[in-house]
Amino acid sequence: MASLNVGNLGEYLREQRRNARLSLRQLADAAGVSNPYLSQIERGLRKPSAEVLQQVAKALRISAETLYVRAGILDAERDRDEVETRAVILADPTLDERQKQVLLQIYESFRKENGFGGDGGGASDGRDDRDDDRHDDAAVRDSRTDDGSDTDPQRTAG
């Protein structure tokens, strides 16, 4: 089986596991993954998901962000705030995997809209989306009192 260019990640994980004085089996148990799967990750034969990396990082008590970068999930040059935001979303134990992915998609769409996305752009013309945003912004402004605090939209409507 050929290496999937995650050898650097596997070597790093093995080094961190040994520094923590954990056996492969102990780390696998602590991270909630199978022993053979973790072995394959360490040997560079498998590319783990962000969720698995987060579990392994937690078990090793190291930064999940570092593992994401080494696995190629995140670019090392990316804005630190973006990396931290993604890491917080992925690490939130109160969200299921679907919710995490939806939040990440929404976050990325806002970054693209504001000119910071990975593709360097948003929708082709986006006029309808901007019109909707202006409408939403106006609704938010209308629901604020003179001092800028939010009011209950249900009470003010009608």
- Asked whether residue 152 carries a pLDDT value surpassing 60, the answer given is no
Q: What share of the chain is helix, strand, coil (3-state, %, to 5)?
A: 60, 0, 35
Alpha-carbon distance of 11 to 127, in angstroms, equals: 48
Alpha-carbon distance of 95 to 74, in angstroms, equals: 21
Mean pLDDT value of segment 76-97: 80
More confident residue, 120 or 47: 47
pLDDT in tens, 56-85: 999 999 888 888 888 888 776 566 677 788
Domains delineated in the chain: 7-71 (1.10.260.40), 80-142 (no CATH)
More confident residue, 14 or 148: 14
Alpha-carbon distance of 54 to 84, in angstroms, equals: 13
Q: What are the structure tokens assigned to 5, written together?
A: 């260019």
Asked if 37 and 47 touch (Cβ cutoff 8 Å), the reply is: no
At a CB cut-off of 8 Å and minimum separation 6, what does 57 contact? 63, 64, 66, 67
